[in-house]
Amino acid sequence: MTSTFTISAWRQRLARSLHVSRSKPEAKYIQLATLSDEGFVQNRTLVFRGFVDESDHIIMITDTRSDKFLALQAHSHAEICWYFAKTREQYRLSGNINIFANTSDLRTSVWNKISPSAKAQFYWYLDDKLVNELSLNNSIPDTFCVLLLETQQVDYLLLADQHERIKYQLIDKKWQETHINP
């Protein structure tokens, strides 16, 4: 079957920003803001783990024991803020987060792609020998979970000599682009 997915304009920009900063590990650090079950704003740094194929869904990973996991059960809406220092661009992406905490193909494939050091963080309560054995078996810890941001809106800001701000909104499954004067 041929795919009908076309890469949106904001994804093309983001791909360029990532490419220009590809030598900088910190270019993949994003800030994720959520609301606690009491309605308080929380944010923290996470690593961007790529997109689900043929979609605008952003992959992140976390531990089910974390506050964000609890927060997202109460309020699934979230926002990512992402700054590329080299190109002086800010992206703010928002939408609902889907949680994959149980066995699923996506959870397994993300686990298989992450580095040994990222995996080790989910085994902090075990000694090195057990960690090695579990890693060799490639068994996935129960607390490992994938968060998927289903991007619905992107606010892009370029701080070049001439500022540029663009809002991208997903309306009726199509991306609409609006240029904004700050």
Ligand X SMILES: Cc1cc2nc3c(=O)[nH]c(=O)nc-3n(C[C@H](O)[C@H](O)[C@H](O)COP(=O)(O)O)c2cc1C
Q: Which amino acid is at 36?
A: S
Q: Which amino acid is at 65?
A: R
Q: Select 63 or 150, whichever has its Cβ closest to ligand X.
A: 63
Q: Select 13 or 49, whichever has its Cβ closest to ligand X.
A: 49
Q: Which amino acid is at 177?
A: E
Min dist. Cβ of residue 62 to ligand X (A): 3
62 binds ligand X (CB under 6 A): yes
66 binds ligand X (CB under 6 A): yes
Min dist. Cβ of residue 66 to ligand X (A): 3
Give the residue, chosen from 4, 45, 137, 181, that forms a contact with ligand X under the rule CB under 6 A: 45
Q: Are 79 and 92 in contact (CB under 8 A)?
A: yes
Distances (CA, A) of 146 to 9, 32, 48, 121: 26, 14, 11, 14
24 binds ligand X (CB under 6 A): no
115 binds ligand X (CB under 6 A): no
Q: Which stretch binds ligand X (CB under 6 A): 11-19, 37-45, 109-117, 160-168?
A: 37-45
Q: Select 102 or 181, whichever has its Cβ closest to ligand X.
A: 102
Q: How far is 170 from 151, CA to CA, in rounded Å?
A: 8
93 binds ligand X (CB under 6 A): no
Radius of gyration of the chain (CA): 18
67 binds ligand X (CB under 6 A): yes
Q: How far is 146 from 69, CA to CA, in rounded Å?
A: 10
| Interstrand relation of 144-158 and 164-171 (parallel, antiparallel or unpaired) | antiparallel
Q: Which residues bind ligand X (CB under 6 A)?
A: 29, 42, 44-47, 61-63, 66-68
